[in-house]
Structure 1
Amino acid sequence: MATSRSDDPVEPRTPYSQESVGLLDQIAERALDDDYYLVRDGRYSRSRTVNGFGTAVVVTVFALMVTITAVQNYRDRPASEATRETLIADVRARQAQLETREAQAAALSAEVEDLQAADDTTETGQRARLLTGASEVTGPGIVISIDPGDGDVSDAELRGVVNTLWAVGAEAVALNGQRIGALTSIRSAGGTLTVNFRSVGPPYTIEAIGASDTLAERFLDSGEGRYWERRELGGTLVFGLSPADDLRLDAAPVSRTTVSVAAVEGGAP
């Protein structure tokens, strides 16, 4: 008759039995194959020795390089500090020199302004302002008109007219309302004519103050006058010259009449 298994004593269950612990210890002890222990004292051990020696050499060389660099920097420090002090002293000297020159420039500017104010009351000063275009002027003169129509007039041709008017006795000249000053330029920029850096276009009107009859006669008798008469006869443009009893020409821009750098050698006459 079979007996019931419930009569057998039941051992208490624990989280880890002795058998389990023994099995884990065995696995831990034999984590590496037995062949590993046979060969590890052979060529692999020699390789490890070589690698250790190479590492030691690299570390030694690196330490030597760091030491050499530190020593070199220490030796160069006095020279670097001396250079820095020299540069600082040079900068300070130049700043002092700049301040001195700025003070001199301010003093000279004030002196120039005083001289200009005093000179404006004299006949010589007034004439100088007239000829340089620094003052507004009125008087008789001539008016030249040039209308190229569909043609073209170059900046060089207009400069030729203005220069000839100065040569025949004009005291003041304006082109399309732009007074010709001491520093005025007539030039072409990007296909556009400019006077005092302002664009001008045809028809061109050139006004000149001076003795009307004298200016007209001398201009027409000059090579410049004959050149424009030939162009008109050729039908390339319309040219005209007429006297005027009362012309009024504005002053040129200050930037075109003021000299900032040049000085008269030996002082004022």
Structure 2
Amino acid sequence: MSEQQRAGRQRSAGRGDDPGESRRIYTPDFLTELFRNPLDPGYADAAARRAQTGQPARPGWSVGPVSLTVVLLLGFLFAVAYRQTVAEEPGRAQARSGLVAQIKQRQGETDALSVRADELREEVNRQREAALGGTQAARLRNLEASTGLGRVRGDGVVVRLADGPAGQDSLSGANVGPSQVLYSDLQWVANDLWDAGAEAISINGQRLTATSTIRSAGQAILVGFRPVTGPYEVSAIGPDSMRKRYESSRSALTMRKVAQDTGLSFGVRDADDLTLPAAPEPRLRYAEPAVSPSASGSVGDAPSGSGTSPSPSGGGR
């Protein structure tokens, strides 16, 4: 094939049979061609077919009377809702401020009553020791210390837990809240301290007894019925080997791993001359047998076949 024939074929490949029809020339540079002709050839072909057949173009989006009425009605409702929300905001802010003030007042009254209760308890203890004598008073103090109803002093350890700093999610990169200490973490630490030989434990000054509970109420952690906030210090009085035994416990190993992964603060240190306060005196309940009156109206034994079960009563000390 001669050079003239090759040139003729190349020129004929660059145009169609119809001299008025232009064809896309594909070049090796795909990005350049994409920016030069961004519209797909199918759209141009469809427009050409509509022009040849005389088919009208599709109408654009139009708003009818019903749609316009619905849009106006929705706009009116949004405006009314916004106006009502803005108008009620001062009242809500005032009510919120009043509730906050009442909460602070009640907390102050509760703290003052707690201080007064401690003072009265100390006075009762002095009067009781004076009345009982040395041996009986010492035995009573030991019992109170072991049950949590008496203040104790001694050497021990302090386990400190605190929420971690706020960070970012590793996948989305969005800001996430801090890694928080859970009530179950405090339960776990306290149980392992008891197992390590602790003789007395308190959490942020709240003494633990056999009837104490560590639970959550919403976002707050309650020890007994008193809320505690971070950082949390679990203080324990016990033998010298207590820290070594606790360091090898499951809660210590797990919390150290959690602290390493999430930034939560966890630490154990020795503490000399710790003073743990006494727990509030519990309200005791006593079971009493239920007495059923006989047929003659006198109090006696229950009829045969009718069992009686003790029911608790609200008696106090």
TM-score by length of 2: 0.42
Structure with more contact order per residue of length (Cα contacts < 8 Å, sep ≥ 6) = 1
Higher normalized helix content (fraction of residues): 1
Larger radius of gyration: 1
